Amino acid sequence: MEKRRLGNSDLYVSTLGLGCMSLGTDEKKATEIIKTAFDLGVNYFDTADLYDYGINEKIVGQALKSVRDQVIIATKAGNRWEEGKTGWVWDASKAYIKEAAKQSLKRLGTDYIDLFQLHGGTMEDRIDETIEAFEELKEEGYIRYYGISSIRPNVIHEYVNRSKIVSVMMQYSILDRRPEEEAIPLLQENGINVVARGPLAKGLLTDALLNKASDSVKENGYLNYSYSELKELLPALKEKLANERSMTAVSLQFVLANPVVASCVTGASSVEQLKENITAIQSQPLSEEELQLIKNYTKADGYAQHRINPK
């Protein structure tokens, strides 16, 4: 599988990453998916301390223990479970970020984290203090590199200008082209890469199309698309682009066509689903004509909030 460099780091990540949030707590089933992904060329595994109260990190770490030096493990911190674990609060303080990293290391059963990410971020945070935590963790050898997971252009802008992040994880897909207006140009200018989450838009951009639509999507649509718009758009895209390849392939190749994107992170609740995604990521890239067709059919609306330069 193709691997792309993450920012100015020495991390080369597979173009398909395994998003581990959807693996569940059945260790045997989850381990089979993780090991199959590795055997088929995936080297990037994305988890977080928030997922299943840390159980996810334990499963990921144990499954990858024997191949630790051949994989890139990414995890996240910033969401702090309240006592009783009925909810969580945002905590980007230096003390918490540093402690969270050490607790993640214990659960993962490893000496270092390849990519440690801030799991969100606001303009109200003490950003310099948060950056200091990441820099100290790097100096102390607990993490190799750090990034953020955010869809807020103004927050991303602050970390680009004030820190040494190598990546930004953000939602990006055919149905969510918001990053193209502000975030992606900023990252491209500064040599920082995108790790794209949600490239299949909750299953809407697979061959299942609207069969995967939740009750919420049927009632409220998806982002800037009403349900009636989706009923017209998705079948039209599939008819024009997915004759000789799957809609999943079209969707992942659209995201990968942007040179700022290093990896598309997708979840998998079964080995079969994983294999479908791997086949899709290894399909032929889209032509310029196909990319333009998608852009002509879809919306390029920017973010309504958290702008770098509010309109």
Catalytic (active-site) positions: 51
How many CB atoms are closer than 10 A to CB 305?
Answer: 9
Beta-strand pair 12-14/3-5: antiparallel
What residue ranges in the chain does DSSP mark as E strands? Answer: 3-5, 12-14, 16-19, 44-46, 72-77, 79-81, 88-90, 113-118, 143-149, 167-171, 193-197, 261-267
Q: Is 53 left (phi over 0), alpha (psi -120 to 50) or beta?
A: left
- The terminus-to-terminus CA distance of the chain in angstroms comes to 42
Residue 147 pairs in a beta bridge with 117
Q: Closest Cα to residue 161, out of 187, 135, 130?
A: 187
3-state secondary structure of 51: helix
DSSP secondary structure code for residue 68 in this structure = G
Q: CB-based contacts of 212: which residues, under 8 Å, 6+ apart?
A: 202, 203, 204, 206
